[in-house]
Amino acid sequence: MDSFLPPRRDRLQGSPGAPDPAPSPPDLNEPGRPGDFLRLLAESGTPLTPPAPSGDAAQVQDTHGTTVIAVKYRDGVINVGDRRATAGNYIMYDRAEKIVPVSDNMLIGISGSYARAMEILKYLQTSFKYYERSQLQPLSLEGQLHEITRVMQQNIQMAMSGIGAFIPIVSAWDRRARQGRIYFYDGMGGRFETPEYAAAGSGSERIRGVFEYIVKTKGRFSEMDRTTSLQDALALLEIAADLDSATGGSQKILPVVKILTADGVETLPDEEIMAARDAIADAGFAPGVSETDLPNASEDPHGV
């Protein structure tokens, strides 16, 4: 008759031959998770973060990316970046790509150390793809953001040495909420979400108040159409270029503009960028106007 009785609790919890309890599902966002590319690099002897350089960091000429901007609009997020890369007082390159897709639903704009930022962006692209192929599912948005925090924290040693510091702006399409989202990070890996806009780089401080002025006088970026939001973003970049010598404008080399929506990443053609630039000029905003182009303040406007 014993064979027809239900199994006793003590037989399931410690008696020999009892089945093991079902394991709890793994946390996909924990360090060391299955599909963790950072751990794979460390175990292979090629960690992402090399030893800190020795000697005087001032002797190392570190090329920097300058101003990047992200603003929302009705259907997603617009990312604008000038093309200038500088090293001290030198313009090293005027066609730098500072807005890079790292997955189908994420763009990152970079400012600061260009070489280090591009290395980490390549790592993130490979890490997200490695996870997707090894786990047969894409990494969640929270998992992607957590991975960026990890690599920023891995980079603290390089930043503290005087080279290798960079600040990213992350634009992501949230598939669950079906909306664009914007995040920025500090040098220690702290993550902050902003409701309307973000900017980083040497020109960002000059235009911080202009963002608020636009929101208070014209309305929220997230309620604008694509054309209006793009024109405002280009005007902001031109103001930054006028007030910051390290930021390139749109007169000589067009900025890079990428848009993130539910359909993925779109790179705007030059014709659309030029049309938006010409539109803000026709509306009275003339990029590159200097004091020499204005009436002489010492002259009496009435001719007296």
Q: Does residue 251 belong to any structural domain of this protein?
A: yes
The Cα–Cα gap between 49 and 47 comes to 6
For 61-66, what is the mean pLDDT?
70
Is the pLDDT assigned to residue 72 strictly greater than 90? yes
The count of residues in the chain is 304
* Percent of the chain scoring above 90 in pLDDT: 50
Q: Is 247 a known active-site residue?
A: no
Per-residue confidence at 220, pLDDT binned at 50, 70, 90? very high
Q: Does residue 298 belong to any structural domain of this protein?
A: no
Give residue 156's pLDDT: 84
Per-residue confidence at 76, pLDDT binned at 50, 70, 90? very high
- From 167, 171, 165, select the one nearest 108 (Cα to Cα): 171
Burial (CB < 10 A; 0-12, 13-18, 19+), residue 76, is buried
Give residue 134's pLDDT: 93
Give residue 245's pLDDT: 81
Q: Does residue 123 belong to any structural domain of this protein?
A: yes
Give residue 32's pLDDT: 56
**How many other CB atoms sit within 10 Å of the CB of residue 213?**
10
pLDDT tens-digit readout, 85-132 = 888 777 877 888 999 999 999 999 998 888 888 999 999 999 999 999
The Cα–Cα gap between 91 and 87 comes to 7
Active-site hit among 46, 49, 63, 66: 66
Q: Does residue 78 belong to any structural domain of this protein?
A: yes
Q: Does residue 165 belong to any structural domain of this protein?
A: yes
For 148-164, what is the mean pLDDT?
84
**Parallel, antiparallel, or unpaired: how do β-strands 264-267 and 85-87 relate?**
unpaired
Lowest mean pLDDT among 170-174, 223-227, 297-301: 297-301
Rg of the chain in Å (alpha carbons): 25
pLDDT tens-digit readout, 8-59 = 444 444 444 444 444 444 444 455 567 787 777 777 666 676 655 555 554 5
The Cα–Cα gap between 39 and 29 comes to 13
Into how many domains does the chain fold?
Answer: 1
First to last CA, the chain: 120
Please answer whether residues 237 and 82 qualify as being in contact, where contact means their C-beta atoms are separated by less than 8 angstroms.
yes
Is the pLDDT assigned to residue 190 strictly greater than 80? yes
Q: Does residue 21 belong to any structural domain of this protein?
A: no
For 177-204, what is the mean pLDDT?
93
Give residue 23's pLDDT: 45
Q: What is the CATH number of the domain that holds 94?
A: 3.60.20.10
Could you tell me which residue, 88 or 180, shows the higher pLDDT?
180
What average pLDDT is seen over the chain? 81
* Percent of the chain scoring above 70 in pLDDT: 76
Could you list the residue range(s) of the whole structural domain that residue 196 is in? 69-281
The Cα–Cα gap between 111 and 210 comes to 20
User: pTM score > 0.95 for this model?
Assistant: no
- Copy the structure tokens of residue 169: 């702006």
Give residue 189's pLDDT: 87
For 191-219, what is the mean pLDDT?
93
